[in-house]
């Protein structure tokens, strides 16, 4: 088993006919599940056993008893004025049917011993539980826990969220939208295992950008924080 990902392997599956299945837990057979499997096969992972019950594509990176973290994008279930359409929502969040085969394959690599965490730090204004429920992640994870006995964790990595308290919320006057209120910062439990700063040094894609990292911004975050950790 290797812990190096420096090979930079990239695989792409393009199928204009694919559509997300709608009902959790997104069990196979379904076309998205099959596409993820084909993608991993295309990367050449455990190539000698591809197509057999013994195929273990993630076994190159993780072994029995370890901890697997799956990091999707769960940006938000809404924009500020709840104007997201269904298609917009699905475009900015990872659909759980993509995560579903990774859970199966991670559990196979763990040999039935270990932990799998689905962890994300969405936008500060994102409502984590609402996003998970709307996508079907909650239903998928609850089914896995009850039916398969897999120790799956759902972790909101943020230690705070922004909650709008509006007196006027998208009130239209003379053709213009008026908004008046405040953004309240609420504490969140964060990662139960805590946080660590990792210095990638020259391996960072931000290395050599000189002072340009000082211009980094991320939504409502303190402007100094992104620059501090991206140098």
What percentage of residues in the chain have a pLDDT greater than 90? 58
Over residues 176-189, the mean pLDDT reads 88
Nearest alpha-carbon partner for 80 in 175, 219, 206: 219
Instruction: Tell me what pLDDT residue 3 has.
Output: 45
Confidence check: pLDDT of 186 > 90: yes
201-211 burial code (b ≥16 CB/10 A, e <16): eeeeeeeeeee
pLDDT in tens, 64-114: 999 999 999 998 776 555 555 666 677 789 999 999 999 999 999 999 999
What is the arithmetic mean of pLDDT over 6-27? 88
CA nearest to 118, candidates 153, 79, 89 = 153
pLDDT of residue 98: 97
pLDDT for 203 equals 85
The mean pLDDT of 170-187, rounded to a whole number, is 85
What pLDDT score was predicted for residue 163?
87
Beta bridge partners of 166: 181
Note if the bond before 25 is cis, omega within 30 degrees. yes
**In the chain, how long is the greatest CA-to-CA distance?**
68
Mean pLDDT of 121-144: 92
CA distance 106 to 195: 23
Check pLDDT > 90 for residue 202. Answer: no
Give the range among 47-51, 139-143, 176-180, 217-221 with minimum mean pLDDT. 217-221
Mean pLDDT of the chain: 87
pLDDT score of 183: 83
């Amino acid at each position: 088993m290797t812990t190096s990902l420096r090979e930079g392997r990239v695989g792409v599956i393009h199928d204009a006919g694919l559509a997300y299945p709608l009902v959790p837990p997104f069990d196979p057979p379904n076309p998205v599940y099959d596409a993820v499997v084909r993608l991993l096969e295309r990367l050449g992972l455990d190539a000698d056993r591809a197509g057999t019950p013994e195929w273990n594509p993630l076994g190159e990176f993780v072994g029995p008893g370890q901890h697997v973290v799956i990091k999707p994008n769960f940006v938000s279930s809404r924009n500020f004025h709840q104007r997201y359409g269904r298609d917009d929502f699905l475009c900015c969040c990872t659909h759980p049917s993509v995560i579903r085969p990774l859970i199966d394959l991670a559990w196979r690599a763990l040999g039935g011993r270990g932990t799998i965490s689905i962890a994300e730090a969405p936008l500060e204004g994102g409502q984590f539980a609402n996003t998970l429920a709307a996508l079907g992640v909650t239903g998928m994870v609850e089914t896995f826990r009850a039916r398969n006995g897999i120790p799956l964790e759902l972790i909101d990595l943020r230690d705070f969220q922004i909650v709008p308290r509006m007196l006027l919320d998208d009130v239209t006057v003379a053709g213009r939208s008026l908004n008046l209120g405040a953004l309240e910062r609420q504490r969140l439990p964060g990662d139960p295992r805590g946080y660590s700063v990792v210095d990638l040094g020259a391996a960072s894609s931000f290395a050599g950008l000189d002072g340009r990292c000082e211009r980094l911004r991320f939504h409502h975050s303190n402007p100094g924080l992104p620059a501090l950790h991206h140098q």
